[in-house]
Amino acid sequence: MGADSPLLFALIGVGVYLTRVVPLALALRREDDSQEIDESDDAPGAMDGWLGFVGPSIIAALLVAAVLPEPGQDMWLELARTGAALAPTVAVAVLFENLGLTVLVGILSYGLASVVI
């Protein structure tokens, strides 16, 4: 591992943290603005609202990991592969709203883009 590894790990950690915290903070602020939080938030159905953040967080983490090129790789080539894989991944995420299928399509489309590009 090079001398830049700790900095790289710190940047990745900050990026992943922000992709999870920022949407959550914005949603909580919107919820506070629209209504008062009542005591029924401890009910089993309250967890459904929180689970909606899991899919976008995973997709954002995969995107950040895919965009960062490995040492010695051409950054523009990596961005072209990621961009080519992004379109079908987002389309599946929007159309089917299925996290497993979205991740599978993302992995397969990135693999195909790596072979073609």
Q: What is the mean pLDDT of residues 83-99?
A: 92
Sign of CA dihedral 105, 111, 115, 116: positive
Residue with token string 């929007």: 94
pTM above 0.85, yes or no: no
Residue 61 CA to residue 65 CA, distance in Å, equals 6
Query: Which pLDDT score is estimated for 32?
Result: 66
Quote the number of domains for the chain: 1
Using CB atoms within 10 Å of the CB of residue 103, give its burial: 0 to 12 exposed, 13 to 18 middle, 19+ buried.
middle
94: containing domain: 5-116
Angle subtended by helix axes 99-116 and 54-67, to nearest 10: 10
Model confidence band, residue 6 (pLDDT cutoffs 50, 70, 90):
confident
